[in-house]
Amino acid sequence: MRHQPIPTELFKENRARLRQLLPPHAMAVVNANDLLPTNADGTLRMVPNTDLFFLTGVEQEESVLVLFPDADDERQRELLFLRETSDLIAVWEGHKLTIEEARRVTGIQNVHWLKDFPALFHKLMCEADQVYLDANEHKRAQIVVTTREARFVREVQERYPLHTYRRLAPLMHRLRVTKSPIEVDLLRRACGITRDAFKRVCRFVQPGVWEHEVEAEFAHEFIRQRGTFAYNPIIASGGNACVLHYLDNDRQCRNGELLLLDVGAAYANYNSDLTRTVPVNGRFTRRQRQVYNAVLRVLRASIQGLVPGRKWSDWQNAAEEMIARECVDLGLLRPRDLRPTDGKITALKPYFMHGLGHPLGLDVHDVGYLTEPFAPGWIMTVEPGIYIREEGLAVRLENDVLITENGVVDLMADIPLEADAIEELMQRRGRKARR
């Protein structure tokens, strides 16, 4: 656990919220993610199951949470099962949670080793009428491997075919999309780390540096502050910025080009998501500034458009209309191109082809229902862009925004954004980065 301890109250409250959504005599089970293999005897670093972390704060493989509010034995209404450690495991893999440590982290008093799971689970299944099982139900997920959760679902349904099974994911999506004050603070911490790394990078970037060197500056600051990359960083100079998910980061940055930086820090598994576009030589050209300011106007208006009760589709459509008008002013579209076809301005697609934003939290593209209206407590990214392939020029800007009943709170308001502020920051190039 690289991050500082998180208040146990967060996980206790999250479990309490889930219990309120479960019908009578229903049990919910959540498993940890697998340790994924690479090649030979290699494995990837552990990536926590975000539902399990949301409910327990546990980041350890082979862990299982069982919630059964109506269990006959009150000691079995909230159970956590952990992989039992040993001297051998301690030598080869390091420290694992003890039962007492797990109690302190999670607030769950009834913690068992995993060897106790089969017998206790069978007893509870004999009492339960409905069982809520978890799965990754993100609309954009492409699942090509069998997960630990999927194996568990198959095994339980084969062994207990007469039970009624329900999907836990809809309940978790509803809970996780609304952020508690503790979660907002963790997201602020991630945004603060990202801010410091961005400022460091702006002092570093100049003609001749390589994209991967810029990535390394982000990595230095993230790790120094107990953070990690929230996602694979996009460090895209020149025409590379017209590739939405450019990941090679292997080109030299040239004088007169723009550099698109889509990079965010994660702290305690909570993710930030930032995009800035900066001039490699520290000064925007006239054309670059025109495009930059056009995107900035859309960003500002779209942030203010995040109001409770509004639907994502209406918000997206409004942004597309704004970007289309900006493209007319930039000479990219003609006024007659603004006439919609089937409700869409199809002529805009080459210049803006992606969503305006998404929920943010324990996952970068966090779970939630974008078919439902925005509500207080949601944190959304706002990321308009204009991509001009024929000019080898692209600008995208992105901030993370909290929706409240009294307006929006921009969690990245202290990260330089105006073109003049970017230029001023970049004039400090050559000053030695901290530590």
3 is a domain residue: no
Confidence of residue 54 (pLDDT cuts 50, 70, 90): very high
Whether the pLDDT of residue 203 is over 70: the answer is: yes
Residue 159, H or E segment:
helix 148-159
Calpha distance 112→103 (Å, rounded): 10
Mean pLDDT across 56-84 = 97
435 is a domain residue: no
434 is a domain residue: no
Domain shared by 154 and 210, yes or no: no
Domain shared by 167 and 237, yes or no: no
Helix orientation angle between 286-304 and 312-329, rounded to the nearest 10 degrees: 160
364 is a domain residue: yes
CATH number of residue 100's parent domain:
3.40.350.10
**How many Å is the Cα radius of gyration of the chain?**
24
What pLDDT is stored for residue 340 in this prediction? 87
Q: What is the pLDDT of residues 237-270, one digit of tens each?
A: 999 999 999 999 999 999 999 999 999 999 999 9
433 is a domain residue: no
Domain shared by 202 and 64, yes or no: no
- Min mean pLDDT across 8-12, 68-72, 105-109, 341-345 is at 341-345
Domain shared by 305 and 404, yes or no: yes
Q: What residue type is 11 in one-letter code? A: F
Q: Are 123 and 27 in contact (CB under 8 A)?
A: no
Last residue of a domain, one of 175, 191, 218: 175
What pLDDT is stored for residue 428 in this prediction? 80
Domain shared by 52 and 130, yes or no: yes
- Find the domain containing 371 and state its range: 181-426
Last residue of a domain, one of 175, 192, 216: 175
Domain shared by 185 and 156, yes or no: no
189 is a domain residue: yes
Domain shared by 86 and 170, yes or no: yes
400 is a domain residue: yes
Q: Are 296 and 321 in contact (CB under 8 A)?
A: no
Q: What is the pLDDT of residues 266-319, one digit of tens each?
A: 999 999 999 999 999 999 999 999 999 999 999 999 999 999 999 999 999 999
Of the candidates 314, 312, 318, the residue with the CA atom closest to the CA atom of residue 299: 318
Structural domain count, the chain: 2
Domain shared by 217 and 287, yes or no: yes
Confidence of residue 2 (pLDDT cuts 50, 70, 90): confident
What pLDDT is stored for residue 430 in this prediction? 58
Q: Which residues contact 18 (CB under 8 A, 6 or more apart)?
A: 28, 55, 67, 171, 172, 175
Domain shared by 92 and 72, yes or no: yes
Q: What is the pLDDT of residues 77-89, one digit of tens each?
A: 999 999 999 989 9
Last residue of a domain, one of 175, 208, 243: 175
CATH number of residue 293's parent domain:
3.90.230.10
What pLDDT is stored for residue 434 in this prediction? 42
pLDDT top residue among 132 and 428: 132
Domain shared by 196 and 167, yes or no: no
Confidence of residue 432 (pLDDT cuts 50, 70, 90): very low
Domain shared by 199 and 283, yes or no: yes
Q: Are 223 and 215 in contact (CB under 8 A)?
A: no
Q: Are 274 and 229 in contact (CB under 8 A)?
A: no
Mean pLDDT across 34-51 = 94
Helix orientation angle between 419-426 and 286-304, rounded to the nearest 10 degrees: 120
Adjacent-strand bridge partners of 398: 275
Domain shared by 131 and 185, yes or no: no
The Cβ of residue 274 has, within 10 Å, a number of other Cβ atoms equal to 25
393 is a domain residue: yes
